[in-house]
Amino acid sequence: MGSLGKDAAAAAAERVVLAVNGARHEAAGVDPSTTLLEFLRTRTPVRGPKLGCGEGGCGACVVVISKYNPATDEVSEHSASSCLTLVGSLNHCSVTTSEGIGNTRHGYHPVQQRLAGFHASQCGFCTPGMCMSIFSALVKADKPDGPAPPTGFSKLTCSEAEHAVSGNLCRCTGYRPILDTCKSFAADVDLEDLGLNSFWKKGSDRADVGKLPEYFSGAVCTFPEFLKSEIKGQMNDIPVPAAIAGQDGWYHPKSIDELHSLFDSNWFDENSVKIVASNTGAGVYKDQDLYDKYIDIQGIPELSVIDRSSKGVEIGAAVSISKAIEVFSDGTPVFTKIAGHLSKVASPFVRNTATVGGNVIMAQRLQFPSDIATVLLAAGSTVTVQTASKMLRLTLDEFLEQPPCDAKTILLSIFVPDWGSDNVIFETSRASPRPFGNAVSFVNSAFLARTSGQLVIEDICLAFGAYGVDHATRARKVEEFLKGKSVSAAVILEAVQLLKDVISPSEGTTHPEYRVSLAVSFLFSFLSSLGNNLNEPANAIAPNGSCANGSEKHGTLGSDDLPVRSRQELVFSDEYQPVGKPITKAGAELQASGEAVYVDDIPAPKYCLYGAFIYSTQPHAHVKSVNFRSSLASEKVITVISAKDIPVGGKNIGSGFRMLGEEALFGDPVSEFAGQNIGIVIAETQKYAYMAAKQAVIEYSTEKLEPPILTIEDAIQHNSYFQTPPFLAPRPVGDIDQGMSQADHKILSGEVKLESQYYFYMETQTALAIPDEDNCITVYSSTQLPEITQNVVADCLGIPYHNVRIITRRVGGGFGGKGLKSTHVACASAVAAFKLQRPVRMYLDRKTDTIMAGGRHPMKAKYSVGFKSDGTLTALHVDLGINAGISPDLSPLIPGHTISSLKKYNWGALAFDIKLCKTNVSSKSAVRAPGDVQGSFIAEAIIEHVASALGADTNAVRSTGAGRRQLNGSMAGTGGRSAAFRACRSPTR
């Protein structure tokens, strides 16, 4: 190839060409670290995919990615997290978003219409991601093989439909209507089981698929013809060497030799070069700096091999987890069990791109609590590894035991032997917060045993992981003990005792006793299934179903494989028509299509800058200086906004509520709590701002400062309290001494402790501030209190209230967290915009939002209660400590709400001593049913304590107290919630 030809080829190679909803786009000139989500939201009109967590864990950013194989003329589609997928790896791919399958102009897709009709969208922030997960499942199921489904349905089963959204989180709606939407496409659904919807009236109208928006498979083109032609036209082009193809920061080696030539290049530096196959690992281990070069190993054939033989299955390290599940599903019982366990790793849209090798490498190099490593370890797997000088073949156990691999060590493939099905029993288990996956295990295990005809254990492998160790390990002492033995109750007991000594979580592991007990229970269940003359284990004992000799025991399924069953029964009355009539929410289809505009969806104004908080990591310390590490990200800093940039006449205020108190916007000169804003990094993009903020190095001093007050106990010891205004203070009921004297029984000391709770709205705190003429400013804020936001921004800037314009169209989830907490971001962006006289946008990353948000009030209640022998309550005294944090916020409202909730039971006499504690933690605020949740929990705990003392049924005691509900003074002293709220609101200036 001549120099001109090479230059032309290189120029073509550095341009990433992709289709977005059928339109051609070039990702030329973008930063190498740009994600697909960032590209879609900044370089195209698309706004449907949202940034929810940035970790591939919520599903708000899900899109469908399609690839074309010109050799077979076939298109393959899969869902993916656009927040993790790097746009540099998507050359000649097609991306479909929620706007691409249906919209206002061209009509909505049946998925979008049914989501709206089943009332499956509330705030709507997660709905486009839900829509694309369902659409992806439909596309996958409706491939042209097998019999056609009934009219209006797809080939999906109810179980498959439920799993379609197993990785999507929703914080508003609840999952029943979302699952009803999914099931409405399944051919095996009973439509009568579906819940309330606007297509037919439950109880009177007949459920009929003809009343649902009609569904046709293949109605959406996922790969445009022009892109197919472009791919075919380049088939005969001479390949460009990887070293030439990297002018845009991306290198695409086509062989292991080319990869090693890149490693040997003088520019290779593992601190600035990242090797990726799918980049899903960035969802677990966040990048701490920008990378200016990427090496994409997806195109190396040796890493994508799938070789099946009589000896076993070898899969390349770059094979996706979803593809591995397909390979293992069609095999022996051991392989089938591996596939079943892998289907509970991560979520469908992560498994579609995440690689098996990447997962194992993270387990070896970064101590990732991998399920895959545990399962493959028990199955006797071996790995092939290429180092800088030689190729090694190691058992997985040996590989995991080695020191962490360097960046130049490549995992080539993993071989899993075929154990057959004769006298081999393989079992896997995991315990995690969510049964369908999308959550890291507390403990995982995998056991493989080969037995003789008399059920004597000839060989056994017991692997455990995720319990607080560096990597998955084998319980070799237990294995040696069990070999050659026939399982009996005595043998099981001895094995369990040995395991307790072997499973030892490292120091700092959360809930170590719980993790050990899980490991013991997994082993007990497995050995019980092997025992001779022992009772068969219950279905719950085998989470994934037990498979021996190739058959399911008793034909049962594991609990995780059972479909979710719920039924919504409603009683209708025509008395108040049309009240109660199921009507589709206005705007629901707009939300499902992704066209509904949230604050971060507003197109960035010209010259817009972006901000990210630098927050304190110390609870009570002088901030002496803020500097930045030398890094690629720190070079992107334009300026840092701090307290000194507040305009003359303005106040250092980030939130406030009239008559209750204020909270500072900046911790200056003292950081009062960990998580307090110290400054705002300003950069040209939101990603640059995020990364630059991570480079901040803060110097602290605690000289002449008292130790921080962190707990309720500390606050009581130091008399650190906020005062509750008299008109908000709850009032006692009756005479506590008289009530106690009437009691047959007394509990003189009981205690209930409640910790905090994060809001977890899907849309994090966000604002866009645009400076205007004549000292005015417009702030687009995701807030539940626009008026308060206006007042606080004006006070912060020192301008009249009418100079501040607050615009809020919709909020992507709030639950109280978008009340006073949203004003901090609005004020921060306003101060920056006012200072720089340029628009400034802030959208907090999930970690920063979690640290700064505050959340629900922690409480500690000590109580004494008197009651009669029949369960009648006569008196209750409560000493209640409430951790309010550093500022009052809305905390003075909490005591009244808590005591009001306590009064759902008639305690006879009720007295209390409430301390609203001021501590050096982030201020707590209103969280869904503020105070009521804690009050109800405390009340129920006391009722259960009373029932336990009497040896009585809890519900009997509960009904006795509830039957005499304490209405007297139930809201006395609180002034009524809405009245108290109105009294605290400040008038406009």
Q: Is 182 annotated as a binding residue?
A: no
Kindly give the pairing relationship between strand 424-431 and strand 696-701: unpaired
Q: Which two tokens stand for residue 481?
A: 């003990």
| Helix intervals (H) in 871-911 | 894-902
Cβ-in-10-Å burial (0-12, 13-18, 19+) of 404 comes to exposed
405 labeled binding residue: no
Tell me whether residue 131 is annotated as binding. Answer: no
Cα separation, 142 vs 139, in Å, equals 5
Look at the block and give the residue holding tokens 């492998």. Answer: 461
Residue listed under structure tokens 């030799």 = 257
Q: The sheet that has 909-918: what strands, in order across it? A: 721-722, 909-918, 873-885, 859-867, 745-754
Q: Are strands 410-417 and 424-431 parallel, antiparallel or unpaired?
A: unpaired
Residue ranges of alpha helices (H) inside 503-595 are 512-530, 588-593
> Rounded to whole angstroms, how far apart are CA atoms 615 and 674?
7
Q: Which of 20, 22, 65 is nearest to 47 (CA)?
A: 20
How many angstroms separate the Cα of 121 from the Cα of each of 32, 52, 589? 35, 16, 9
Q: Which DSSP string do the residues of 931-972 spell out, in sequence order?
A: THHHHHHHHHHHHHHHHHHHT--HHHHHHHHHTT---TTSST
Tokens describing residue 565: 């069953």
Q: What is the 3-state secondary structure (H, E, C) of 472-527?
A: CEECHHHHHHHCCCECCHHHHHHHHHHHHHHCCCCCCCCCHHHHHHHHHHHHHHHH
985 labelled ligand-binding: no
What distances in angstroms separate CA 445 from CA 180, 327, 429, 477, 579, one per listed residue? Answer: 34, 22, 5, 16, 53
Pairwise CA distance, residues 603 & 387, whole Å: 48
The closest alpha carbon to 426, from 294, 498, 328, belongs to 328
* The token pair that represents 421 in the structure block: 């099905």
Phi, psi of 915 (to 5 degrees): -120, 115
User: Any known ligand binding at 53?
Assistant: yes
Residue 93, annotated as binding a ligand? no
Residue 536: phi, psi to the nearest 5? -65, 140
Looking at this protein, which amino acid is placed at residue 560? D
Residue 338 to residues 128, 330, 374, 420, 545, Cα–Cα distance (Å): 32, 11, 10, 14, 12
Question: Was 774 annotated as part of a binding site?
Answer: no
Task: Using CB atoms within 10 Å of the CB of residue 792, give its burial: 0 to 12 exposed, 13 to 18 middle, 19+ buried.
Answer: buried
Work out the number of other CB atoms within 10 angstroms of the CB of residue 632: 17
Burial readout 109-139 (b: 16 or more C-beta within 10 A, e: otherwise):
bbbbbbbbbbbbbbbbbbbbbbbbbbbbbbb
Q: Whole-angstrom Cα distance, residue 683 to residue 694?
A: 13
> What is the 3 state secondary structure string of 620-653?
CEEEEEEEECCCCCHHHCCEEECHHHCCCCCCCC
170 marked ligand binding residue = yes
Between the alpha carbon of residue 334 and those of residues 126, 288, 313, 428, the distances in Å are 37, 40, 12, 10
How many H-runs (helices) and E-runs (strands) does the chain carry?
29, 36
How many residues comprise the chain? Answer: 989
Roughly what angle, to the nearest 10 degrees, separates helices 954-962 and 932-950? 120
Say if residue 371 carries a ligand binding annotation.
yes
What is the number of alpha carbons within 13 Å of residue 502 lying toward its C-beta? 23
Q: Is 547 annotated as a binding residue?
A: no
Q: State phi, psi for 895 to the nearest 5 degrees.
A: -55, -45
Q: Binding site for Mo-molybdopterin: what residues are annotated?
A: 784, 815, 928
Q: Binding site for FAD: what residues are annotated?
A: 371, 411, 430
Q: Binding site for [2Fe-2S] cluster: what residues are annotated?
A: 53, 58, 61, 83, 123, 126, 170, 172
Q: Binding site: what residues are annotated?
A: 53, 58, 61, 83, 123, 126, 170, 172, 371, 411, 430, 784, 815, 928
